[in-house]
Every structure is written in structure tokens, then in C-alpha cells.
Structure 1
Amino acid sequence: MLRPSPAPAPALRSVLAALGSPTAVREARTPALRAAQGPLSPELPLPVHVLGVSGATPGTVLTTGQPPRTRLAGWRFLIRNGDRAIAAADTMLTPDGWSFSHFFEGPYIAATERALIQAEALVTPYQPRLLSVPELYMLTLWLDADTEADGATAAPGPADLLVPLAPAPPGIAADHPYQVADLLPVLSLRLAPPPLLGSAAPA
């Protein structure tokens, strides 16, 4: 069961304006969007958070005893044509407010839609978000157990689920819901820099 957080109205308006602009659609780097017949509608808005790890001490940011740092990077809308999503639109926060960023397509579109359908069938209610780990080229559906939380804030908590979207990094199962305490330590190991030559490996 999903209880999404409403997207900022200016973000939605900026996407609708871009979809209504023949120039914006024609110049979009997404063949499916340019070739689409019939109406295009932005749906299923999700806040996109980025996991903050740069400059952190290895092994500390993603441990279960310390909440990971995240920042809101934008809102993403799936662009539906008929009965399926064929592209997505990202918005970003500028000094003048929320504005359209770009259209795109790729495997994460279908993977996001599939993960949302699976999450909707869960008995426990969740607030859906996206959590990006740029260093691993990884995107997850973040199911926040606090359905009343502001979609622009907070960090993954112990009751939340993370569902890696396909394609996921090697050794991490795509479409599988992980408890935060199970997945974050794995990410911590992947993100930790290798030891310097000649230095002792950590015990």
C-alpha cells in the first residue's frame, strides 16, 4: 500500500509546460517520447534523494548506528502514454523555485513502475521515494514507513525498505526489498576506498 507525498505544484506545472512544448519534446533525447501517439501525462511523482557519502569516513556514514545523510535532488515524474510509462521527467530546485530539468528514458523507467506495482500490493503502508547512490550507479525505491513524513526530508530509518532497481550492482538483487539495516552495510563496504599500498588491512 502506497501513500505518496504530493509533489510541489510548481514542479508539476513545469513538467506540464515542457510536455506542452513541441520544441521541448522534439529536442528530448528520448525516442519513445518523440514517437508517442496520443496524450502524455506526468504521473507517480517521486522525490529523488541522493545518498551523501563524499568526504565521509569509510564505514561510518552507512552504519546502522548512524543515520545516513541524504539530500533532496529533485522530483521525478513518470510520463505515461496509454497504459505504460515510456519516459520520465526530472525537475530541480533553482533560486526561482522548482523548474523542469530534462526528459529521459532507459531501464529504470520500467523498473520503477514494476517496483511501485509490487509495493502497492504490500499490506504495510509506505511513502515511496527514490534513493540514488551515484558512486555505485545505483537507484533504489525507498519505501518510507513514516507515511506522514515530508517527502523532501528525513533519511532511511530502521523500519524502511529499500528496493534496488534493475540494473543493480553485481551481488545486489534487483527488485528485492531489503531492510535498511541489511543493505546499508553492504553499500558501506562497496563505497569504502581501498587501503593504501603498504598499509595494514582493517581487522
Structure 2
Amino acid sequence: MPLHVPPAPAPALRSVLSALGSPAAVNDAHTPALRAHQGPMTVELPLPVHVLDRLHTSHLAAGGRPPRTRLTGWRFLIRGGDRFIAAADTRLTPEGWVFSHFFEGPYVAATERALRQAESLGSNFQPRLLSVPELYMLTLWLHGAVGADASAGLPAAADLLVPLAPAPPGIAAYRPHPVSELLPVLTHRLTPPLPPELAAPAA
């Protein structure tokens, strides 16, 4: 089924289109593929970027509230010819949405692959990106509430998280995980081990 890609704020899209049309902005970017591309380029697939805050202090594994998330920007994939060659990030300032930077690298291709895979799952989702800074991890967040405000909301237990490559060791990239299963695993990874004197009762 098609994904329900949320509309990006108009000023965010305008800022990216303006930067893409600026030779100075393109030439200053650390994106050889973007600078070298000959021909038209289009800006597609706007995705809100959320960050998972304070995962290590979450009590989700014990049935408590999920970690907090916050919107940090909107990301747009840039198509050149028959493939995506780069991406553009925007950020919110007191004056509104502004262009942040262009980039390329593994997450561009990984995002495209995960989105194609999500379209074949047979369910309706609103695609988002969810970053886990504490694990240097980025996931495609497939939110079940397709009509929800894309700038807000917490991951629901039945939502899916698809780790993008490169994923942390021991976590398979591109494998969809229900939030209820993956977040406790991530929380456990960030939980400091108990001191030896507390880990086991004294003999």
C-alpha cells in the first residue's frame, strides 16, 4: 500500500528549493554527487526527523511511559535522474523553517530502500525518521496514525521501527520491529550494569 507521506511546512520546502537553485550553496556543500550531477533535480519525500530523548532513563521495559520524542527538522531526498543522490535538512529557528545543509552517504540510499520495503508491508503508515543519538542509530518510523500531526506524537506500541544501515552491532538493518519489542532492547543496551556487590547476593 502507498505510504501516507506527510506534507512538509511550506517554508521548509521553499528554503530547500532556494538552496538547490543557488550555485553557491550547492558548491559549498560536502556532496560531490550533488555538485557533479548534470541535469534537473527534484526535491521529494519530505520526512519529519524526530529524536528519541533520554532513552537510558526510560521505564518502557517495565511498563512505564515511553521515552520522549521531539521534532528537530524535516529531511528531503533529492532526486537526480533515476536515483536519489543527496538529501537536504531543514531546522526550525525563531524566524521559522530554514535550510540547514545538504549531505550524501549511506543514509540516503538506506532511507530509499526502507521506504520501498515499507510500501510492500500491506498496511497504511505515515513515514517519519526517528534518531537514537545515544546509539548513533537512525530508523524509519512507520506511524500507524496516518492522519496525525507529523510534528508531534510518541511511538505507539504497534508502530514499526526499521533500522537504517549502518545499524548498531547486533541490530539487523531493514528488519521492521514493533516499537514494543525494539525499544526495550535499546533501553537495555543503555542501562548501566549493576555494581558487582548489587548484581548478586552475598554468599
Query: What's the TM-score once normalised by structure 1's chain length?
Result: 0.93
Q: 1:63 to 1:28 in 2, by over 3 A?
A: farther
Residue 136 (structure 1) shift: 0.7
| Structure 2 partner of 1:90 | 89
Counterpart Cα distance in 2 of 1:39 and 1:180: 39
| Structure 2 partner of 1:137 | 136
CA contact (8 A) 1:63 1:188 kept: no
**Residue ranges of structure 2 left out of the alignment (5+ in a row):** none
| Structure 2 partner of 1:169 | 168
Q: 1:111-190 to 2 correspondence within 5 Å? A: 111-190=110-189
How many residue pairs are counted as aligned between the two chains? 200
Q: 1:62 to 1:140 in 2, by over 3 A?
A: farther
| Structure 2 partner of 1:60 | 59
CA contact (8 A) 2:60 2:184 kept: no
Q: 1:61 to 1:102 in 2, by over 3 A?
A: farther
Q: 1:180 to 1:64 in 2, by over 3 A?
A: farther
CA contact (8 A) 2:126 2:143 kept: yes
Residue 61 (structure 1) shift: 5.2
Residue 144 (structure 1) shift: 0.2
CA contact (8 A) 1:64 1:181 kept: no
**2:188 counterpart SS class:** helix
Counterpart Cα distance in 1 of 2:100 and 2:170: 32
Counterpart Cα distance in 2 of 1:201 and 1:42: 53
Identity of aligned residues (%): 68
Residue 64 (structure 1) shift: 4.8
Residue 194 (structure 1) shift: 3.8
After superposition, what is the alpha-carbon deviation per residue over 1:163-201, rounded to whole angstroms, capped at 9, x for unaligned?
A: 0001100111100000111100110011223445x5523
Q: 1:167 to 1:9 in 2, by over 3 A?
A: same
Q: 1:182 to 1:25 in 2, by over 3 A?
A: same
Q: Which runs of 4+ in 1 moved over 4 A?
A: 61-64
**Residue ranges of structure 1 left out of the alignment (5+ in a row):** none
Q: 1:112 to 1:33 in 2, by over 3 A?
A: same
> Which one of 186, 198, 201 corresponds to residue 200 of structure 1?
198
Residue 42 (structure 1) shift: 1.1
Structure showing the higher helix proportion among its residues: 2
**2:198 counterpart SS class:** coil
